[in-house]
């Protein structure tokens, strides 16, 4: 029976950042299993190669072999398949063993291959002679020096568990005997359960007021060792009890909670259920087991694919390289007129597109200031739970539960940083909000994808019911009503609508101040036609300026001017029968009890005839192949 390990195997693995256990040319790795103990439905141990030790864990598929006694404490195993993972909170690593085979049953003691000095060898020889006289030998022919042999018997996992339970404190004994349920197995009709999860996101404490009274609420996102996530919400007494207890990144045992179907309008994770914890719920920190539960789980959306998420209820995750960081500004909240801090950052990724992310409240003053201080180093940041809006085409905003990680230790972050350092620095970037790039890979926001004729929109009256849908189309401005209300009076600071003050000037409700002057911003409808039909498009300031060719203030000046030639009418006539490519959203509005389609221009650009020709040729090729 083999009783030797592979010397220096662990240190060789840990020093190789690109180590792959599945490689066919790697050397054999035999280690000793030390300190084998159960954690939930898995087992942890310390892998020992005689010189170096590292924490390790068997996957649940190997549990039967441990319970049967095939894999034993102090026994030897050959590692066939395993991965090297990080314990981020402790800056150390551990092995996750997915496949192994038994080499030897339990040895008498722990293996130690450390080299000895001459004095130690002489002392060891004297000790061996003394042991020989007492008929005890613990020298193995391979040169492995073992500790003095003690009376021991190979023990199965069940015996080890029994001994451990007898020696630990009552609280620790409780954590060993509890049965941990995976999140995927929970449902509202289940009885008692216990889960072991990491807090991967924590919201702020919020107050609310309704007909029943006032209260407070906060929620957390929880992730178990299999990567399944669930959102847990706490109200009033429970919120006050657990708010300080739940710390971001820590692992907890939770029991005595309840589940219900998740409200799709408010859910932030992919789970059909959501959890509610009241003041009777049990929460216990599992500090020794945090290495086995994954960190925050991200589902990144490339910047070039943000178009399909505009104005949707689902939140998205984003990773990007910081291009610029603005100073902090104060914005007055419309609901209560409270001034809140805001900071804009511009991010870029490998699609060579950029997007502006607005950080609000504490993220603007805390993380935002940190990013401003290190902006010249172009850090990579990952952001969890962002809301996608349509301001300037595409815009992103943080919410109360958003989580920002600077320079995360993830493969995506390393790949992005490597790309930026090698070629991204000198690459010309374009904003995703412009929506003008015909070459965007799978770019749902590109003007040259999901192209439809107008008849496809107008022939489907229910299109856009429930949530907006987005298309690209090409057409001509066929008519602009000259007598419509084409603009509104706007605040020069926030662009909100203003009213004329009693004495003079204009009052802005958003900024809560009076200005002597205001600006005009377009809000107009135009008729667009193509070979299949026509439809009325609503367009706002930036898009309308591109259609008309001048600002609303300039057009108003032309309207007020006299003369033989009506410059106002001439300007509108010049804007008609010009071809454009439009990015539009289709929604359903109710007017006088009747549902009507509303088509809104999100972006507009003149036709790029070279790109348009390529698009048409590709379309012809697809139809021929079909």
Q: What is the pLDDT of residues 321-333, one digit of tens each?
A: 999 999 999 888 7
The confidence score (pLDDT) of residue 50 equals 87
Q: Are 315 and 257 in a shared domain?
A: no
- Would you state the pLDDT for residue 135? 42
**Calpha distance 39→273 (Å, rounded):** 26
Residues 190 and 313 in one domain: no
Per-residue pLDDT at 293: 58
CA distance 55 to 57: 7
For residue 213, what pLDDT is reported? 86
Q: What is the pLDDT of residue 1?
A: 57
Here the CATH number for the domain that contains residue 549 is 2.40.50.140
Task: Provide the pLDDT for residue 435.
Answer: 46
Within a domain: residue 199? yes
Q: CA dihedral defined by 313, 274, 272, 41, rounded to 10 degrees?
A: 140
Query: Between the CA of residue 256 and those of 232, 280, 281, what are the distances in Å?
Result: 12, 7, 5
pLDDT value of residue 122 = 52
Distances, alpha carbon 337 to alpha carbons 233, 512, 529, in Å: 28, 8, 43
When pLDDT is averaged across residues 251-260 and rounded to a whole number, the result is 92
pLDDT of 625 reads 72
Residue 563 φ/ψ region, left for φ over 0, alpha for ψ in the -120 to 50 degree band, beta for the rest: left
Residue 239 CB neighbours (<10 A)? 21
Question: Given 409, 426, 443, which residue is the final one in a domain?
Answer: 426
- Is the pLDDT reported for residue 210 higher than 60? yes
Instruction: Give the closest residue to 205 by CA, choosing from 245, 248, 239, 230.
Output: 239
Same domain, 474 and 577: yes
Rounded mean pLDDT, 176-196: 82
- pLDDT for res 148: 45
350 with 405, same domain: the answer is yes
Domain boundary among 285, 319, 345: 285
In a domain, 355, yes or no: yes
Residue 171 resides in a domain? no
What pLDDT sits at residue 118? 45
Q: Is the pLDDT of residue 245 over 90?
A: yes
- For 496, counting Cβ atoms within 10 Å of its Cβ (0-12 exposed, 13-18 middle, 19+ buried), the class is middle
Torsion of CA 249, 252, 258, 262, to 10 degrees: 20
Residue 202 scores a pLDDT above 90: no
The average pLDDT across 272-301 equals 81
pLDDT of the residue at 116 = 47
- Please tell me whether residues 469 and 609 are part of one structural domain: yes
Same domain for 405 and 309:
yes
Instruction: Please compute the mean of the pLDDT values over residues 123-152 and round it to a whole number.
Output: 45
Distance, in Å, from the CA atom of 104 to the CA atom of 78, rounded to the nearest integer, reads 9
Q: Please indicate, yes or no, if residue 496 is contained in any of the structural domains.
A: no
Alpha helix positions (H), 266-425: 362-365, 367-373, 411-422
- Residues in CB range of 209: below 8 A, 6 or more apart: none
- Return the pLDDT at 257: 93
User: For residues 477 and 459, what is the distance between their CA atoms, to the nearest angstrom?
Assistant: 20
* Residue 376 contacts residue 339 (beta carbons within 8 Å): no
Residue 157 pLDDT greater than 80, yes or no: no
Q: How many residues does the chain have?
A: 626
Do 402 and 331 lie in one domain? The reply is yes
Residues 413 and 308 in one domain: yes
The mean pLDDT value for 156-170 works out to: 48
pLDDT of residue 171: 40
- Higher pLDDT residue, 392 or 174? 392
Query: Is 473's pLDDT higher than 70?
Result: yes
pLDDT bracket for residue 160 (50, 70, 90): low
Reported pTM? 0.45
What CA–CA distance (Å, rounded) separates 542 from 522?
8
Is 293 part of a structural domain of the chain? no
Q: Determine what percent of the chain falls in helix, strand and coil, rounding each to the nearest 5.
A: 25, 35, 40
What's phi and psi for 455, nearest 5 deg?
-60, -30
Residue 115 has pLDDT above 60, yes or no: no
Distance CA 303, CA 321 (A): 11
Distance CA 604, CA 614 (A): 19
Range of the domain at 245: 183-285
The answer as to whether 568 is a domain residue is yes
Mean pLDDT on 179-196: 87
Residue 529 pLDDT more than 90? Answer: yes
pLDDT tens digits, residue range 546-597? 999 999 999 999 988 866 678 888 999 999 998 999 988 899 887 777 888 8
- Least confident span in 50-54, 160-164, 423-427, 619-623: 160-164
State the Cα angle at 195 between 190 and 199, rounded to 5°: 130
Tell me the pLDDT of the chain averaged across its residues.
Answer: 81
* Predicted local confidence at residue 208, as pLDDT: 87
Q: pLDDT tens digits for 60-111?
A: 788 888 888 889 989 999 998 888 877 655 567 888 888 899 998 888 888 8
Q: So what's the pLDDT on residue 419?
A: 92
**How many separate domains does the chain show?**
4
Number of C-beta neighbours around residue 397 at 10 A: 17
> Is there a single domain that holds both residue 422 and residue 459?
no
Q: What is the rounded CA–CA span in Å between residue 467 and residue 182?
A: 34
Looking at the domain assignment, is residue 420 inside a domain? yes
Do the bridges between strand 513-515 and strand 506-508 make them parallel or antiparallel, or are there none, so unpaired?
antiparallel
d(C-alpha 267, C-alpha 261), whole Å: 10
Give yes or no for residue 360 having a pLDDT over 70. Answer: yes
pLDDT at 599: 94
pLDDT at 161 over 60: no
Is the confidence at residue 439, as pLDDT, over 60?
Answer: no
Banded pLDDT at 441 (limits 50, 70, 90): very low
Residues 534-540: contacts with CB under 8 Å, at least 24 apart: 534/454, 534/458, 534/478, 535/454, 535/457, 535/458, 535/599, 536/599, 537/582, 537/584, 537/599, 537/600, 537/601, 538/598, 538/599, 538/600, 538/601, 539/600, 539/601, 539/604, 540/600, 540/601
CB of 252 within 8 A of CB of 199? Answer: yes
pLDDT digits (tens, 9 = 90+) for 374-428: 988 999 999 988 998 877 778 899 988 788 889 988 889 999 999 999 988 888 8
Query: Is 371 contained in some domain?
Result: yes
Residue that finishes a domain, picked among 254, 285, 316: 285
User: Do residue 580 and residue 458 come from a single domain?
Assistant: yes
Residues 414 and 378 in one domain: yes
Of the candidates 72, 70, 54, which has an alpha carbon nearest to the alpha carbon of residue 9? 54
Distance CA 297, CA 618 (A): 38
pLDDT, position 582: 92
Tell me, yes or no, whether 462 and 553 share the same domain. Answer: yes
């Amino acid at each position: 029976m083999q009783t030797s390990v592979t010397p220096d195997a662990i240190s060789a693995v840990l020093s190789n950042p690109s180590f792959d256990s599945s490689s066919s040319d790697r050397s054999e790795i035999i280690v000793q299993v030390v300190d084998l103990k159960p954690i939930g439905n898995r087992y942890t141990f310390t892998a020992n190669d005689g010189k170096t030790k590292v924490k390790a864990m068997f996957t649940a598929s190997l549990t039967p072999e441990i319970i049967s006694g095939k894999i034993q404490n102090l026994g030897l195993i050959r590692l066939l398949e395993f991965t090297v993972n990080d314990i981020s909170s402790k800056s150390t690593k551990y092995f996750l063993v997915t496949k192994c085979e038994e080499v030897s049953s339990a040895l008498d003691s722990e293996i130690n291959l450390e080299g000895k000095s001459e004095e130690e060898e002489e002392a060891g020889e004297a000790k061996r002679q003394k042991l020989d006289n007492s008929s005890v030998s613990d020298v193995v022919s391979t040169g492995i020096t073992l500790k003095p042999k003690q009376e021991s018997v190979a023990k199965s996992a069940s015996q080890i568990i029994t001994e451990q339970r007898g020696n630990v404190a009552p609280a620790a004994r409780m954590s060993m005997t509890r049965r941990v349920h995976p999140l995927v197995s929970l449902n509202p009709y289940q009885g008692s359960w216990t889960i072991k999860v990491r807090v991967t996101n924590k919201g702020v404490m919020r107050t609310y007021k309704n007909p029943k009274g006032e209260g407070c609420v906060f929620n957390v996102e929880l992730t178990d060792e299999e990567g399944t996530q669930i959102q847990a919400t706490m109200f009033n007494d429970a919120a006050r009890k657990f708010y300080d207890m739940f710390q971001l990144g820590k692992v907890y045992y939770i029991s005595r909670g309840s589940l219900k179907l998740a409200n799709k309008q408010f859910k932030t994770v992919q789970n059909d259920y959501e959890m509610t914890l009241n003041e009777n719920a049990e929460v216990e920190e599992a500090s020794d087991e945090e290495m086995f539960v994954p960190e925050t789980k991200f589902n990144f959306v490339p910047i070039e694919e943000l178009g399909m998420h505009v104005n949707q209820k689902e939140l998205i995750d984003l990773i990007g390289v910081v291009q610029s960081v603005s100073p902090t500004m104060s914005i007055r909240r419309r609901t209560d007129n409270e001034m809140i801090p805001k900071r804009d950052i511009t991010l870029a990724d490998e699609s060579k597109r950029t997007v502006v992310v607005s950080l609000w409240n504490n993220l603007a003053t805390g993380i935002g200031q940190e990013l401003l201080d290190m902006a010249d180093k172009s850090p990579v940041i990952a952001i969890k739970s962002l809301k996608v809006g349509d301001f300037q085409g595409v815009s992103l905003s943080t919410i109360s539960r958003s989580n920002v990680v600077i320079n995360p230790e993830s493969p995506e972050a390393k790949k992005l940083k490597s790309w930026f350092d090698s070629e991204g620095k000198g690459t010309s970037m374009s904003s995703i909000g412009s929506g003008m790039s015909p070459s965007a890979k799978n770019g749902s926001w590109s003007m040259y994808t999901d192209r439809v004729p107008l008849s496809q929109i107008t022939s489907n009256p229910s299109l856009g019911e429930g949530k907006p849908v987005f298309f690209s189309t090409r057409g001509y401005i066929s008519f602009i009503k000259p007598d419509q209300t084409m603009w509104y009076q706007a605040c020069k600071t926030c662009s909100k609508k203003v009213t004329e003050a009693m004495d003079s000037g204009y009052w802005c409700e958003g900024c809560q101040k009076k200005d002597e002057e205001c600006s005009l911003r377009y809000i107009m409808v135009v008729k667009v036609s193509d070979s299949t039909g026509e439809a009325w498009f609503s367009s706002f300031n930036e898009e309308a300026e591109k259609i008309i060719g001048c600002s609303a203030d300039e057009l108003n000046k032309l309207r007020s001017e006299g003369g033989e030639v009506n410059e106002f009418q001439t300007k509108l006539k010049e804007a008609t029968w010009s071809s454009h490519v439009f990015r539009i959203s289709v929604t359903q509005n109710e007017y006088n009890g009747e549902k009507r389609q509303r088509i809104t221009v999100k972006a507009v650009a003149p036709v790029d005839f070279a790109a348009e020709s390529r698009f048409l040729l590709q379309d012809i090729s697809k139809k021929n192949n079909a």
